[in-house]
C-alpha cells in the first residue's frame, strides 16, 4: 500500500521538533525528580543504615562504644540500642540506667521474629508504626553474651517535597513549551522566508524572466543554494542568448541560399531554358546552394549527436595519417576549381586510439574553418607530426586571426563572429563546439594559437600508443 504523505512546512516541522524535544527533556526531569525521588531517598537511607550497623558491630569491643552510639543517635535522628535476650537496654548507658529501659515488647518480638525467619544474623525491615522507618537488627556476641543491636532510622515524609517539585516543574514545563514555540517560529521564519522567496523567483525564471535575483540568508546552505540558482540563471541566460543567436544565424543562412535557388530556378524557367551553357551554370548554382543547406542541416544534426552520443562511443587503434589524408582529399575540389593552396606535411602511419568517425568530423570541421577564414592568398597548411609523447595535428590559415578576448568564446555552442563569411563552406557557429565536445570526450589536448592579422593555427595532440 502506498501512502501519500503531504510534506510538512519548515515551520510546522520545527515547532513539532522543538515541542517534542522540550517535552522529552521535561519528561526525563519529571521521572527523575518526582517519580524516582522517593525510591532514591529510601535506597540511600537503607544503605546508610547498613553502613552504620556495620560500623557499630566493628566497634563492639571498643571502650568508646557508648560514645559512638550516642553520637550516631543524636546526630542522625536514629534510635540505637544494644539489647539483651529479654529486650532490656544495655547501651546507651544513659537509657539503661533509667527505669524505662526495655524496648517495647511488640517491637522486640517483631525483631526476634524477623531474625528467626532468616539464616543470617542481620535483618533489615521496614516498620510502619507511628511513622515509617527502616529497622536494622543484628544478633551479636557482646561480653560473651548474646545481644541484639537495634537501630531505628525514621524516613522523612517526601510527599510534600514531591508536591512542591511537581508544582515547580509544571510552571517550568509551561514556560519551556512556550519558549520553544517562539524559538521555533523565529527559526523557521528565518529559514523558510528566503526559501519561499527563492522558490517564487525560480518559478519566474522558469517562465524566462531573467530579471529575478536569488537572495541568500545568514545560513550557509541557503546562501549556497542562492549562489547555485544565480549561476543557473546566468547559464540559462547564456544558452537562451545562444539559441536566439543560432536561430538568427540559421534563418539568415537558410534565407540566402533559398533566395538564390528560387532566383536561378526562375531564370532557367523564364530566360535560358534553351541555352545549354547558361542552364548548366545556373543549375550548378542551385546545386551549390542546396549543398550549403545540406551542410547547415548536417551541422545542426551533428551538434545534437555530439551532445548526446558522447558517453559510449567505441575507440580503437586508428591510422591517424590515413584519416587526415582522407579528409584532405575531400577538399581537393577547392584546390582544382577555387584556387585554394593546400600545403600538406603529413607523416605516414601514425597511430592513436580514438573513434574514427568522430575524429573525421573534428578534422573536417577544422579544415573547413581554415578554408572559410583563410586570407586572400587562399593558403592552408596542414601537418601531422610525431613528437616524443604525442602526435600533433595542425591546421594553419592566413586569415584575420582571432582576437585574444574571443579565443575562449569560439568553442562555445552557437558562437559566431558577427561577420558573415562568404566562403565555400557555410557554417552555423556549431563546428567548434562539436570539435570541443568530441576532443574532451576523448581526453585529448587541443587548442588554438592566433595572431590578429596573420592567421590562426588550430592543433590537436593525439596520444601515442605505448607498447
Among 80, 456, 460, 462, binds ligand ADP (CB under 6 A): 456
Dist. CA 63–CA 66, nearest whole Å? 8
CB of residue 456 to ligand ADP, shortest distance in Å: 4
Three-state SS annotation for 281-314:
HHHHHHHHHHHHHHHHHHHHHHHHHHHHCCCCCC
Of 299 and 318, which has the nearer Cβ to ligand ADP?
A: 299
Identify which of residues 191 and 327 has a Cβ nearer to ligand ADP in the complex.
327
| Chosen residue from 369, 381, 398, 437 binding ligand ADP by CB under 6 A | 369
Q: Which of 314, 333, 316, 404 is nearest to 371 (CA)?
A: 333
Does an H or E element contain 141, and which?
strand 132-142
Q: What Cα–Cα distance (Å) separates residue 130 from each residue in 153, 158, 376?
A: 13, 16, 124
Task: Give the C-alpha distances (Å, rounded to integers) separating 426 from 297, 363, 420.
Answer: 11, 16, 9
Q: Which stretch binds ligand ADP (CB under 6 A): 21-29, 113-121, 236-244, 431-439?
A: 431-439
Regarding 428 and contact with ligand ADP (CB under 6 A), the answer is yes
CB under 6 A: which stretch of 35-43, 59-67, 284-292, 394-402 binds ligand ADP?
394-402
Sheet holding 379-386, edge to edge: 341-346, 379-386, 390-397, 455-463, 445-451
Q: Is 417 in the site for ligand ADP (CB under 6 A)?
A: yes
Q: Is 292 in the site for ligand ADP (CB under 6 A)?
A: no
Q: Which is nearer to ligand ADP, 416 or 442 (CB)?
A: 416
In the set 289, 318, 397, 461, which binds ligand ADP (CB under 6 A)?
A: 397
Interface region with ligand ADP, contact rule CB under 6 A, candidates 22-30, 35-43, 311-319, 424-432: 424-432
What is the grid cell recorded at 166?
A: 511537581
Cis? peptide before 92, omega within 30° of 0: yes
350 binds ligand ADP (CB under 6 A): no
Number of residue whose CB is nearest ligand ADP: 427
Minimum CB–partner distance for residue 301 and ligand ADP (Å): 14
Short-list 177, 222, 164, 176, CA closest to 195 = 222
Instruction: Give the binding site for ligand ADP (CB under 6 A).
Output: 369-370, 372-373, 397, 399, 402, 410, 415-417, 427-433, 456
Amino acid at each position: 500500500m502506498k501512502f501519500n504523505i503531504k510534506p510538512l512546512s519548515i515551520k510546522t516541522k520545527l515547532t513539532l521538533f522543538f515541542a517534542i524535544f522540550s517535552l522529552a527533556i521535561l519528561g526525563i526531569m519529571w521521572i527523575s525528580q518526582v517519580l524516582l525521588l522517593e525510591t532514591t531517598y529510601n535506597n540511600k537511607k537503607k544503605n546508610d543504615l547498613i553502613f552504620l550497623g556495620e560500623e557499630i558491630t566493628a566497634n563492639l569491643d571498643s571502650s568508646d562504644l557508648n560514645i559512638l552510639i550516642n553520637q550516631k543517635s543524636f546526630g542522625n535522628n536514629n534510635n540505637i540500642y544494644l539489647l539483651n535476650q529479654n529486650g532490656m537496654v544495655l547501651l546507651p548507658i544513659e537509657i539503661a540506667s533509667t527505669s524505662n529501659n526495655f524496648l517495647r515488647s511488640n517491637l522486640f518480638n517483631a525483631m526476634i521474629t524477623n531474625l528467626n525467619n532468616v539464616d543470617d544474623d542481620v535483618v533489615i525491615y521496614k516498620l510502619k508504626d507511628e511513622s515509617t522507618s527502616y529497622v536494622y537488627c543484628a544478633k551479636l556476641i557482646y561480653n560473651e553474651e548474646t545481644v541484639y543491636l537495634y537501630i531505628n532510622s525514621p524516613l522523612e515524609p517526601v510527599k510534600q517535597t514531591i508536591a512542591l517539585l511537581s508544582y515547580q516543574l509544571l510552571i517550568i514545563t509551561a514556560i519551556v513549551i512556550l519558549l520553544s514555540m517562539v524559538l521555533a517560529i523565529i527559526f523557521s521564519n528565518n529559514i523558510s522566508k528566503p526559501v519561499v522567496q527563492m522558490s517564487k523567483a525560480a518559478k519566474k525564471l522558469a517562465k524566462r524572466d531573467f530579471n529575478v535575483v536569488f537572495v541568500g540568508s545568514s545560513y550557509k546552505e541557503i546562501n549556497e543554494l542562492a549562489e547555485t540558482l544565480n549561476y543557473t540563471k546566468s547559464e540559462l541566460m547564456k544558452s537562451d542568448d545562444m539559441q536566439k543567436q543560432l536561430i538568427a544565424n540559421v534563418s539568415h543562412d537558410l534565407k540566402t541560399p533559398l533566395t538564390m535557388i528560387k532566383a536561378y530556378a526562375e531564370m532557367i524557367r523564364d530566360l535560358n531554358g534553351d541555352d545549354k551553357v547558361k542552364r548548366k551554370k545556373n543549375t550548378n548554382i542551385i546545386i551549390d546552394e542546396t549543398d550549403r543547406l545540406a551542410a547547415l542541416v548536417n551541422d545542426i544534426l551533428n551538434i545534437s549527436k555530439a551532445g548526446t552520443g558522447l558517453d559510449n562511443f567505441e575507440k580503437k587503434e586508428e591510422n591517424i595519417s590515413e584519416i587526415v589524408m582522407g579528409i584532405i582529399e575531400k577538399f581537393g575540389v577547392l584546390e582544382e576549381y577555387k584556387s585554394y593552396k593546400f600545403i600538406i606535411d603529413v607523416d605516414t602511419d601514425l597511430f592513436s586510439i580514438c573513434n574514427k568517425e568522430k575524429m573525421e568530423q573534428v578534422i573536417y570541421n577544422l579544415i573547413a574553418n581554415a578554408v572559410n577564414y583563410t586570407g586572400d592568398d587562399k593558403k592552408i597548411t596542414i601537418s601531422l607530426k610525431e613528437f616524443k609523447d604525442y602526435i600533433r595535428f595542425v591546421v594553419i590559415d592566413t586569415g584575420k586571426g582571432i582576437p585574444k578576448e574571443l579565443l575562449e568564446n569560439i568553442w562555445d555552442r552557437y558562437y559566431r563572429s558577427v561577420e558573415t563569411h562568404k566562403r565555400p563552406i557555410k557554417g552555423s557557429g556549431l563546428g567548434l563546439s562539436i570539435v570541443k565536445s568530441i576532443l574532451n570526450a576523448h581526453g585529448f589536448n587541443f587548442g588554438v594559437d592566433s595572431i590578429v592579422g596573420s592567421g590562426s593555427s588550430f592543433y590537436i595532440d593525439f596520444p601515442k600508443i605505448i607498447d
